[in-house]
Copies of this chain bind each other. A is one copy, B any other.
Amino acid sequence: MGLRAIFLGRRLANREAEERKIGAFEAIPAMGLDGLGSSAYGPEAALTVLMVLGAASLSALSWVMVPILLLLAILFASYWQTIRAYPTNGGAYTVAKENLGTNASLLAAAALMIDYVLNVAVGISAGVGALVSAAPGLHPYILPLCLAILGFVTLMNLRGTLDAGRLFAIPTYLFVACFGIIIVLGLYRAAVAGGHPAPVVPPPALPSAVEPVGLWLLLRAFASGCTAMTGVEAVSNGMSAFREPRVRHGHRTLTGIVVILGLLLAGITYLAHAYGIGAMDQTQASYRSVLSQLASAVAGNGLLYYVAIGSLLCVLALSANTSFVDFPRLCRMVAGDGFLPKPFAIAGHRLVFSIGILYLALAAGLLLTLFGGITEHLIPLFAVGAFLTFTLSQSGMVLHWRRLLAEEADPGKRRKIRTHLWTNAVGAATTGIALVVIVLAKFTQGAWITVLVVPAAILLLKSIRNYYDRVEDRLWDPTPLNLAGVSSPIVLVAIDEWNHLADRAISLALSLSPHVIGVHLAQLAGPDEDYNRTLREGWERNVVVPARKAGFAAPELAILQAQYRAIHEPVLKLARELELKYPDRSVAVLIPELVKQRWYQRLLHTHRARRLRRKLLKHGGSRLTIINVPWHLEEVRLPEIVPEAG
């Protein structure tokens, strides 16, 4: 408890839940880090595909980025509507469940979950990759650095979304401010120079063209550039994190993220063109990212450059945070529907769904370790998941509006709904087309893995639900309590020798049932153990006589041979014999237990009580009851009785 409080802060009560929710200020870093970080690799990814065009890549970039910005605007409009329509738990999962049915919702859930895990791995390794290319001395420590950042983000999120959002606000807003200044400065210089500003630090010359412009090349560049949009769905998936008024906070956050992202993308696209900045080969030692070239071209290699690049590294490394906000909340919803294990739905020490956070960290940590901290080849996989959920959520919304339309009579409202419907329809169609392009363009680069993993994940989710259905079915009890024929059980009391433990155990047994049998296991320690011959006499004197005197039926004493030193077998056999002999009565085994209060007691005692309980529970069948009678060597501090508010 002490350690947990030090790392996670004090334990939070359920009634504090509302105070722990976030507003737009914390939500833009907490949920937006993924989206904002995308501005760094979206244009770069498109330019990398276009590299074969040489200098022509710069004008081709506009052909790619303008559709992406349009798509971003469509996504903004449709998620704006989704947030209002599903203000508690927006997400693709809920929209699909309500409008497209269980299968579509599971498809969305599987795609999202995989996406979130990949986002953590890819985000952290991209941040560390950028850091290492800035400080090559750190190269041998890529994996430890990745795991350390993962651990840090995990810990911050176990403390709660509010804590994470507040802390990560610093690098996020610093990043926005720095690149805002760089873009405004760049635009001003470009305007002054009539569209052809002189770079402070000239970027390297562009390579010569090796291919002409073609539709397939542009489509592939578009597919790569679309990674700039991942993260836009985060707000609608994590609505339950917001405080009231929830919709307003959600809308503000969405607006903040999309507007900043859109301006960054547009600015970067224009300035790359104006300054003649193209992508460089990442496998070369001289490699510099597009944003790094841009920053030094506009602002030189001064203080602003270093602060900007530093904050960019932080944003990339922390973009994993978006997954840590949304993944546990998604899992909680899915677990609530029985498709994930129930522990995912339990709020932890700090009111966040800790199990989900830990599973996410574990899965991402495994991926990072497997790939040695270099996960860029996972990027294709992760655009597929994002666009799949975009399309599902938009299509769901189309059906949602159609249903409302069918119920609505007022023509003014009908017109409004029709506008909503068409917004989402256009969104669904464009993201759907983008999805097809991405899958086709990246199928051989790894997108095929998603096509295999998603169905496997759906199968897993379904089999979990299946299990819970079976359990519920077995447990379902349509009839009220039936007390006919209820009689007190036969109580077997495990006895070693006559002491306080035995005394208390037999008193308790007699208070529960008139039919008590003391059970002593002989030869338990092996054949050499001295068999206690005086036990029977002691039993007569200490138990039988006083019991008779007090008017109770005298408890018998059964001495069982434990030939195989297996503590539960003779007891189980006796219980079974008694059950057959008295078919209308149940059997209870009473186990006195010395409670281990100190660590060294675990080494000093034989754990017989615990072992006997475990074995009897496992092998005793559902008719057997186990009664534990604890005995403490040291006084236990019992709770004080003070009235609790709430």
Contact = CB atoms under 8 A, between A and B. Distances in A.
Contacts of A626: 627-628, 630
Interface stretch (A44-52, A201-209, A397-405, A473-481): A473-481
Contact of A511 (B486, B618, B629): B486
Interface string A612-644: 010001111110111111111100111101001
A547 interface: yes
A636 B621 contact: yes
Contacts of A482: 503, 507, 546
A348 B565 CA distance: 8
Given A480-B542, A489-B508, A613-B628, A597 B580 contact: no
Interface string A470-500: 1100111101111110111100000000111
Contacts of A341: 603-605
A643 to B, nearest CB: 10
Interface stretch (A184-192, A211-219, A568-576): A568-576
A525 B563 contact: no
Given A15-B527, A508-B489, A564-B11, A628 B617 contact: yes
B526 A622 contact: no
A511 B561 CA distance: 31
A545 B479 CA distance: 12
A483 B546 CA distance: 7
Given A342-B606, A477-B503, A636 B617 contact: no
A507 B483 contact: yes
A464 B604 CA distance: 8
A342 to B, nearest CB: 5
A1 to B, nearest CB: 10
A510 interface: yes
Contact of A481 (B13, B546, B629, B632): B546
A543 interface: yes
A457 interface: no
Interface in A324-347: 332, 341-343, 345-347
B527 A503 contact: no
Given A346-B525, A480-B545, A510-B486, A622 B631 contact: yes
Contacts of A285: none
Contact of A14 (B343, B345, B484, B523): B523
A502 interface: yes
B625 A629 contact: yes
A406 interface: no
A564 to B, nearest CB: 6
A506 interface: yes
A628 B628 contact: yes
A619 B622 CA distance: 27
A586 B347 contact: no
Interface string A541-566: 11101110010100000000111110
A513 B443 CA distance: 68
Nearest to A538: B480
Given A543-B481, A561-B646, A625-B629, A638 B576 contact: yes
A595 interface: yes
Given A542-B480, A563-B15, A576 B644 contact: no
A408 interface: no
Given A467-B604, A488-B512, A550-B484, A639 B342 contact: no
Interface residues of A, number: 111
A561 B528 contact: no
A491 to B, nearest CB: 9
B639 A474 contact: no
Contacts of A503: 477, 479, 481-482
A572 B477 contact: no
Contact of A617 (B240, B588, B630): B630
Interface string A576-619: 11001000001010000111010010011110000001000111
Contacts of A605: 341-343
A351 interface: yes
Contacts of A11: 564
A520 to B, nearest CB: 15
A524 B346 CA distance: 8
Contact of A639 (B564, B573, B595, B630): B573
A630 B638 contact: no
A2 B147 CA distance: 38
Contact of A489 (B12, B488, B512, B594): B512
A8 B629 CA distance: 35
Interface string A29-49: 000000000000000000000
A633 B542 CA distance: 42
Contacts of A488: 511-512
Contacts of A12: 564
B627 A625 contact: yes
A624 B620 contact: no
A17 interface: yes
A468 B486 CA distance: 43
A413 interface: no
Contacts of A512: 488-489, 512-513
Given A15-B527, A622-B631, 8 more contacts: A14-B561, A14-B563, A347-B526, A480-B543, A480-B545, A563-B644, A573-B641, A621-B638
12 contacts: A12-B564, A14-B561, A345-B529, A347-B526, A471-B633, A481-B546, A486-B511, A487-B511, A577-B641, A621-B636, A621-B638, A626-B630
| 10 closest Cβ pairs, A-B complex | A347-B526, A483-B550, A17-B527, A475-B499, A14-B527, A13-B563, A480-B542, A481-B546, A626-B628, A621-B636
